[in-house]
Amino acid sequence: KNEVEQSPQNLTAQEGEFITINCSYSVGISALHWLQQHPGGGIVSLFMLSSGKKKHGRLIATINIQEKHSSLHITASHPRDSAVYICAVYSGNQFYFGTGTSLTVIP
Amino acid sequence: NAGVTQTPKFQVLKTGQSMTLQCAQDMNHNSMYWYRQDPGMGLRLIYYSASEGTTDKGEVPNGYNVSRLNKREFSLRLESAAPSQTSVYFCASSERFSGANVLTFGAGSRLTVL
């Protein structure tokens, strides 16, 4: 059983499209993280949120605690957004990770 | 820059050889973690350390040992490497701020066991 489920697993978009990646979790959490990993690269934190909505540039993250669901939106997608996006939650004393969504943005 | 530093970035071993992955953080975080990342399986926890002097097994601890040398450093040792340990390894650290746990990763170490 996976504590964190992401969808879709793979996503291909044309440059400029609006993109949504979804994350559902089954455990009680204090915060949810969205992470980004470029091919062959390290993992960087995009957002940490425990309620509502956060925005950073073209990226928007929302969370609904009651429904145990979060979404990551990318507006006006660009080829440099091509990466794996990982949802993670903190519960108990450890983090649980989704398997990631691989996004490819085509020029 | 503040963050998590792990070494080496790349390593090739022969089956049965040993090695230690080093990790250090300068953010004064209490918790540190070692994960492995394999295609299609996401990040899996090998060991973690909630504070200096404590370590606990994660999901996939077999074949690994760890040492929390001090608050800054958390090393991962492979005593007798096996091809199944070919993976990308990430060290991470975490601390609770304002009711939530921030999480910072190292750049990763790519290990190949022949």
Interface membership of B43 toward A (CB under 8 Å): yes
Quote the CA–CA distance of A79 and A63 in Å, as a whole number.
26
Residue A96 C-alpha, separation from nearest chain B C-alpha, in angstroms: 8
pLDDT tens string A2-38: 899 999 999 999 999 999 999 999 998 888 999 999 9
pLDDT tens string A95-106: 999 999 999 999
Q: Which residues from chain B sit within 8 angstroms of residue A50, using beta carbons?
A: 99-100
Closest CB to A45: pick one of B33, B42, B104. B104
Contact B23, B46 (CB under 8 A): no
First to last CA, chain B: 35
DSSP B84: G
First to last CA, chain A: 37
Note the Cα B103 to chain centre separation in Å. Answer: 13
Interface membership of A88 toward B (CB under 8 Å): yes
Contact A75, A60 (CB under 8 A): yes
Contact A39, B88 (CB under 8 A): no
pLDDT at B1 over 80: no
pLDDT tens string B40-90: 888 999 999 999 989 999 999 999 999 998 999 999 999 999 999 999 999
